[in-house]
Chains A and B, each alone.
Chain A
Amino acid sequence: METAEELAYASSRLKRVWYNHGDTLFAVGMAGPALCVVAATLLFPLLYSFWTSLASVDPASLAFKFIGLANYGSAIHDPLFLTALTNTLEFAGLTIVGTVVAGLGIALVLNQPFAGRGLLRAVVVLPWAMSQVVVAVVWGWIFDGTYGVLNAILKDLGIIHSYIGWLSNPHITLYLVALAFVWSSAPFAVVIYLAALAGISPELYNAAKVDGAGAWRRFRYVTLPGLRYATLMVLIVASLEGLLAFSLIYTMTGGGPGTSTTVLSWLAYQITFVRLQLGEGAAMFYSLVFMMVGLAFVYIRWLYRPEHEGEQ
């Protein structure tokens, strides 16, 4: 025998269930289409790519023949693989350090009061908004061996005596491409560092000053610790971008001269779309993703800890 209270409880439960049911329908209806798009355009191609990496694909008929992990083996044994791996790590290392140093340096300058600071802070994001193709044309023209402005300036300053073919010298090309890359990636770090600098309490500086800390010690013991989280973020994003750099190298050097700027992404592109070894190319691109998954793990583990939720 049910009491009135029990009945009321049951009906309220019923209402609640009905209510939630409607909510779920609404939620599915609203989010469903977008999630289907993400599943169809992101998850499915990812799985399809993995399947491709296990097959030998006929470039004309696109017929698949399952060959297991053989593509991964031949990707690693590609005669250019070691060169590309070395170049990738060197390029990523240069651009990561460059982005942190340039980003922090520019942020420290823009953190000082001076006339025109607002304007400079506004335009500082511009290189970041440029496509890598535009960055390549802009810097390629500056580095041009005959008509380039870099040669002209260095010669006027007496630093060089004759024009240098900057992008035709295999020993320096990688550095110059990295320089152009840092130009376009540093603004991102500047924005992050400026926000972090604004978040350091002035009282900490005053307290350090009262304690007799000089400029360097205040920088070392107040500023730098306050920038730890920002630096971590910059490091990780810069690593992802540096390891995956493709468009700038494609446009600016085409992997050359020789193999001096042949990085893994460029090699994978060559294997896939020039040699038309689609399966092997997929394997190499997929290996890049495995590297990303490793980094993503660090990314989520370090950056999305609950205590940082507020910084989003």
Chain B
Amino acid sequence: MAAGEMQLSAPSSGWSRARHAMSVSWLIYVAAILVAIWIVGPFLWTLKSSFSPQNDLLSVPPQLIPHHWTLDNYKGLFATLPGTSPGQEQLIPGELKNSLIIASSVLALNLLFGAPAAYVLARGPVRFRRGIVNGLLASRMVPALVLLVPFYLLFRRAHLIDSLQGVVIAHLAISLPFTIWILRGHFARVPLELERAARVDGCGRLRTFQYVALPLTKAGLAVAGLFAFMVSWNEFPLALVLTASPRAFPVQPALAGLYSLQGATYLNYGYLFSATVLSAGPPAVIALLLQKHFRQGALAGAVK
């Protein structure tokens, strides 16, 4: 654990200092390589598997470097062979599309509802704010799991089971408080002088929000929206319980279903990994785009 202080612990004599510095930087590189293997290794292994033909995947011992690369696992997902009925893996593109529709709707609704509310919580009358902010804080603690039973019962009554709309509503529940929380911070950072100037120039409250605050918060809107998209795309238990057929399956329950076929002779492992890579893609891109905001995100959206 002394790794953090290693460059600080140089002994006094010149010769031994040089030797010490060398051994220390050598140690740091070993540690960095171990960290890199731990973080990136599983990704690379999955990526490699998705480009390997089936008989390479099922060879013992596994080949660390594949003999040949293939795109068949990806092509096969999007094409049903003529004369055969589509397997579970051929449903993946439709399920990716479902997820795309659901997560985009969740993103749009989060901004639509969240931005005005966040603005008021950053700028509105003080007596309005305190209780609500505390309430939002508390509602972020509500785990998605406890919503499984009520949403299942309510949606069965309302005939929203197995519909994209139902999943969107459920995902809105777990993302909106977080969105408001992030956006509130961004609106609070808009210089008050600009808004005052707009008001003095005759802008009403709504127009000040629309033409001053909102354009200055574009980055915040993008961050909050993409986080909401990622939460919805990655969410599993609600999506599992509230859908029942490929018509509405989002990609996470679909992937879990495909994985549960493991061991069955008809499971094409190649398809499993190309499907995994495709469903991991969007959140990976978002994560790389939003790394700077991850601290905030990690703090605020802790419970996935």
Contact = CB atoms under 8 A, between A and B. Distances in A.
Contacts of B276: 134, 137-138
A273 B149 CA distance: 9
Given A57-B153, A285-B148, A37 B43 contact: no
Contacts of A34: 113-114, 116-117, 176, 180
B4 interface: yes
A278 to B, nearest CB: 6
Interface in B207-256: 209, 230, 233-237, 240-241, 252-253, 255-256
A268 B237 CA distance: 12
A125 B116 contact: no
A168 B235 CA distance: 27
Interface residues of B, number: 106
B154 A31 contact: no
B295 interface: yes
Contacts of B294: 125, 128, 191
Nearest to A265: B145
A49 B5 contact: no
- A contact residues, range: 35 or more
A85 interface: no
A117 B233 CA distance: 29
B42 A48 contact: no
Given A120-B35, A127-B39, A197 B4 contact: yes
A7 interface: no
27 contacts: A23-B205, A26-B124, A117-B32, A121-B291, A125-B291, A131-B279, A133-B259, A137-B255, A137-B259, A138-B42, A138-B45, A147-B60, A152-B64, A192-B295, A209-B8, A215-B2, A223-B4, A237-B303, A241-B303, A241-B304, A246-B145, A247-B256, A250-B237, A268-B145, A273-B148, A278-B152, A292-B142
Interface of A: 20, 22-24, 26-27, 29-31, 33-35, 37-38, 41-46, 48-49, 52, 57, 62, 104-106, 108-114, 116-117, 120-134, 136-142, 146-149, 151-152, 155-156, 183, 187-188, 191-192, 195, 197, 205, 209, 214-216, 218-219, 223, 233, 237, 240-241, 244, 246-247, 250-251, 254, 265, 268-269, 272-273, 278, 281-282, 285-286, 288-289, 292-293, 295-296, 299-300, 304, 312
